[in-house]
Amino acid sequence: RKEVEQDPGPFNVPEGATVAFNCTYSNSASQSFFWYRQDCRKEPKLLMSVYSSGNEDGRFTAQLNRASQYISLLIRDSKLSDSATYLCVVNKIVGGSQGNLIFGKGTKLSVKP
Amino acid sequence: ETGVTQTPRHLVMGMTNKKSLKCEQHLGHNAMYWYKQSAKKPLELMFVYNFKEQTENNSVPSRFSPECPNSSHLFLHLHTLQPEDSALYLCASSQWQAGGPTDTQYFGPGTRLTVL
């Protein structure tokens, strides 16, 4: 299994749609999980951290399933401005300690009018 | 947003040139990173500095040479690069805590490098 694996995409959805992204990670000892957003030719920016209990920020909901080593991101009521690549990010375990971040390849979302 | 700045934003260089990329963070963080992002590949971590000390070098060729003079500045010196080194080079910073979970990283806008 790859360290961080995401849906290949691209996702092409109409405005107002609900879209879900999935991500799996290989190391069960990882403790830090994030979703980043990267616009075309721009740097990645933190969208939200992902907590064990699940968390919501407006139209965005992130969930973590440690047993399945699975992370999800749900976007409700998609806007044109949500069009971007969404990166699943998990921290690496090095010698039993929490290490640096590993980025997935990203899933491209295109919201159409 | 100007938390992490990078210069230059664009760079075209020949294979025999020597150039340097600069990164500066204004967030008071103690860790800085260089990443490479090529088309259709995930971000690749190149170097990590914690408290100005290099803690990770992910098998990066010696034609890339990092320098961290203080916790706010990070350089990437480039020498005799190859065309396949053309990519977006991103700098990031974070607040590192020994024994703690990995903290959020904040990225600069990147330098888009083209090697001819």
End-to-end CA distance of chain B: 32
* Position B16 confidence tier, pLDDT thresholds 50, 70, 90: confident
A100 falls in which pLDDT band (50, 70, 90)? confident
Return residues 56-85 of B near A (CB < 8 Å). Answer: 56
> Which pLDDT score, from 0 to 100, does residue B101 have?
63
Q: What is the CA radius of gyration of chain B?
A: 14
Distance CA(B73)–CA(B91), nearest Å, equals: 10
Of B41, B99, B106, the CB nearest to A97: B99
Compute the distance between CA of residue B111 and CA of residue A42 in angstroms, rounded to an integer: 10
B96 or A4, which is more confident? A4
User: Nearest by CB to B56, which of A4, A98, A100?
Assistant: A100
- Quote the tokens at residue B55: 């803690």
Distances (CA, A) of A27 to A112, B25, B95: 36, 31, 23
pLDDT at A84: 96
Yes or no: say if B74 and B56 are a contact pair by the CB < 8 Å rule: no
Residue A77 pLDDT class (50, 70, 90 cuts):
very high
- State how far residue A89 is from chain B, nearest Cα, in angstroms: 10
* pLDDT tens digit sequence for B76-113: 999 999 999 999 999 999 988 776 666 789 999 999 99
Give tens-digit pLDDT for B55-75.
Answer: 777 789 999 999 999 999 999
Residue of A nearest to B108 (CA): A43
DSSP-derived letter for residue B81 is: -
* pLDDT of res. B26: 95
| Cβ within 8 Å, pair B102-A31 | yes
Residues from chain A that touch B112, judged by Cβ atoms under 8 A, are 41
pLDDT at position B12: 95
The two tokens of residue A60 are 């965005």
Tell me the nearest-neighbour CA distance from A105 into chain B, angstroms: 4
Q: Cα dist. A23→A48, A82, A91 in Å?
A: 14, 18, 14
The helix/strand count (H/E) of chain B reads as 0, 11
CB contact under 8 A, A43 and B107: yes
Confidence category of residue A75, pLDDT binned at 50, 70, 90: very high
pLDDT tens figures, A20-57:
999 999 988 888 899 999 999 899 999 999 988 889 99
Residue the block writes with tokens 């961290």: B68
